[in-house]
């Protein structure tokens, strides 16, 4: 019998500048600092998840192959995706893909974090609750 899981609620990223990434995910994305055990590690939450930021020993992560396509933040409604687009642009974040409605009814946009990690804001009907 398969053991139970409660979903995918945690991701850990190597970052080149912990302070810069902390500021981005806290100040732009609205996550809260959960725990900072030392200067090289930060744990943030939106209340239902955990994002770990770990200082990389490599100062330039741009050429690194992490085998990661993107991370996603779920929002309650399709209109929230459009609000995020305006908010991000107002904060100097360039969108990689403008808001788009997908064939499955999901609506999303993409942008890059300070280390080039692709981030998605998505309304996905099966899991978005508003």
Q: What is the pLDDT of residue 33?
A: 96
Confidence of residue 61 (pLDDT cuts 50, 70, 90): low
Closest CA to 24 of 96, 16, 49: 16
With respect to CATH, is domain 1-57 assigned 3.40.30.10?
Answer: no
Please check whether the two domains, 1-57 and 69-130, share a CATH topology: yes
Where in the chain are the domains?
A: 1-57, 69-130
- The third-level CATH classification (topology) of the domain covering 69-130 is 2,3-Dihydroxybiphenyl 1,2-Dioxygenase; domain 1 (3.10.180)
- Mean residue pLDDT of the chain comes to 90
If one compares 130 and 128, the residue with the highest pLDDT of the two is 128
Cα separation, 48 vs 52, in Å, equals 14
Decide: 66 and 60 in contact? Cβ < 8 Å: no
Q: Is the per-residue pLDDT at 59 higher than 80? A: no
Tell me the per-residue pLDDT of 73-103, one tens digit each, with 9 for 90 and over.
Answer: 999 999 999 999 999 999 999 999 999 999 8
């Amino acid at each position: 019998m398969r053991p139970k899981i409660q979903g995918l609620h945690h991701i850990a990223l190597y970052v080149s500048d912990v302070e810069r990434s902390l500021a981005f995910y806290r100040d732009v994305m609205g996550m809260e600092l959960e725990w900072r055990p030392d200067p090289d590690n930060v744990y943030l939450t939106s209340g239902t998840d955990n994002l770990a930021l770990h200082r990389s020993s490599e100062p330039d992560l741009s050429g690194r192959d992490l085998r990661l396509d993107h991370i996603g933040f779920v929002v309650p409604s399709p209109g929230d995706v459009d609000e995020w687009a305006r908010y991000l642009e107002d904060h100097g974040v360039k969108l990689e893909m403008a808001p788009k409605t997908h064939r499955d009814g999901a609506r999303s946009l993409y942008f890059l974090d300070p280390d080039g990690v692709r981030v998605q804001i998505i309304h996905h009907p099966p899991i978005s609750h508003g």
